[in-house]
Amino acid sequence: MLRVYGDLQSGNCYKVKLLLAYLGLPHEWVHVDILKGESRTPEFLARNPNGKIPTLEIGPGDYLWESNAILYYLADGTDFRPSTRVLRARVLQWQSFEQYSHEPYIAVARYIEKYLGLPEARRAEYEAKRAGGYRALGVMEQHLAARDFFVGAHATIADVSLYAYTHVAHEGGFSLSDYPAVRRWCARLAALPGYVTMSGA
């Protein structure tokens, strides 16, 4: 049985939950509260020395971490990973874009607002995330204008990665009103069989 250590309110963890749901894979979900320091205990660091969630137990005492690596592992042999070298590289390209040019703005702004309650001490940092987040959304909008999914003709783990924080971008103060192609793409992913929301419904 796959065991996931994570927090469903974290988009990085929800990526894993969503793919498991799309694939219909049974699993155990162990809640980890990062605000209580549960990802920095000696016990947890033995699972993931980088002290982050999600972390996946793939065998007794054998752990895999980093959301993109976990998605890659779970999607192997399914339609959520394309079968050609170029398309597989493009999936990685968009997942890397998400981790480096999207998540550090949209997810961090959401963390400051939703988890921390937008404290005054972090308001300047919160505001500074605005430009980079909208820039990432602009790159997505342009790409999706003539496409249904990020890579190829159906949903892949690139879509799963990008969907997680995009569909809750408003929780970090971002509006999708000027991004109609992104909104249509979000609806497309929510309509796929097996879809679950962040609250698990």
Interacting residues with a copy of itself (CB under 8 A): 49-50, 52, 58, 64-70, 72-73, 76, 85-86, 88-90, 92-93, 96-97, 99-101, 104, 139, 142-143
| Nearest residue (CB) to a copy of itself, 24 versus 59 | 59
| Nearest residue (CB) to a copy of itself, 25 versus 69 | 69
Backbone angles phi, psi at 56, to 5 degrees: -115, 130
Least separation in angstroms between residue 132's CB and a copy of itself is 11
Q: Is 54 exposed, middle or buried (0-12, 13-18, 19+ CB in 10 A)?
A: buried
Cis peptide bond prior to 54, omega within 30° of 0: yes
Least separation in angstroms between residue 10's CB and a copy of itself is 14
The CA distance from 13 to 48, in Å, is 14
Angle at 80 (CA atoms; ends 15, 3), nearest 5 degrees:
45
Least separation in angstroms between residue 30's CB and a copy of itself is 19
| Nearest residue (CB) to a copy of itself, 65 versus 115 | 65
